């Protein structure tokens, strides 16, 4: 279970940052930044991938009630323009900027899931598998995942043939079959290879 070892080694307040939605063929990439309260942190926070949808929903509500948080969203059109790496970095930056606007000051330190940091001025540390080690990052993973899933459920109501209520935009067999049969929707990422193959567009190159 994630703990507070990394947070205790940093200047407070410490924000955890994580994203959801790098891999899907459709929908936005969403990042969240969370500063947990000194007291009253919800119990049961873990890497969002290890939690059920119902548990993520419960924890997300508690985190948003008790913590300071910010959310950053980058839509598919901008993902295609920037590529997914830079779009993810932008989503993380937007999330921390939104948190700062609520907090009224910059965090003392930012812990980011992964091995790279956005180009920002905040003091920060990248932690590989951070959602398994840092409670703040795990909380951010819960908020980001639940937020993105909610967005995809809204889109699923408009485009039910892609099965987004289940796959959330990832390229499972049913989604790929629907993509070939029905073509791409406005929220498909046209720079991703399976979508580019359908629409005839170029695939994106990952520029670090």
Output the known binding site for a divalent metal cation.
Answer: 18-19, 113
Among all chains, which residue has been given the structure tokens 């955890």? 16
DSSP state of 6: H
Q: Residue 17: which of 121, 96, 118 has the closest Cα? A: 96
How distant, in Å, are the alpha carbons of 4, 39, 41, 108, 109 from that of 8? 6, 14, 15, 11, 11
Binding residue positions: 18-19, 113
In whole angstroms, give the CA distance from residue 149 to residue 30: 10
- The DSSP bridge pattern shows strands 29-35 and 124-127 to be unpaired
Q: Is 129 helix (H, G, I), strand (E, B) or coil?
A: coil
Q: Is 92 helix (H, G, I), strand (E, B) or coil?
A: helix
């Amino acid at each position: 279970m994630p703990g507070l070892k990394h947070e205790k080694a940093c200047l407070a307040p410490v924000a955890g940052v994580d994203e959801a939605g790098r891999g899907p063929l459709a929908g936005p990439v969403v990042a969240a930044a969370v500063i947990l309260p000194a007291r009253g942190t919800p119990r049961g926070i873990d890497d969002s991938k290890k939690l059920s949808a119902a548990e993520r929903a419960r924890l997300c509500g508690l985190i948003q009630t008790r913590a300071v948080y910010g959310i950053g969203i980058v839509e598919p059109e901008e993902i295609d323009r920037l590529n997914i790496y830079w779009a993810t970095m932008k989503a993380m930056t937007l999330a921390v900027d939104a948190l700062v606007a609520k907090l009224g000051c910059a965090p003392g330190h930012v812990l980011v899931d992964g091995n790279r940091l956005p180009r920002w001025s905040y003091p920060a540390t990248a932690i590989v598998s951070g959602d398994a080690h840092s409670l703040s990052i795990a909380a951010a993973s819960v908020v980001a995942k639940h937020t993105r899933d909610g967005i995809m459920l809204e889109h699923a109501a408009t485009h039910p043939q892609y099965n987004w209520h289940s796959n959330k935009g990832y390229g499972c067999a049913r989604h790929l079959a629907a993509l070939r049969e029905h073509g791409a929707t406005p929220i498909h990422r046209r720079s991703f290879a399976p979508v580019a193959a359908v629409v005839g567009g170029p695939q994106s190159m990952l520029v670090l």
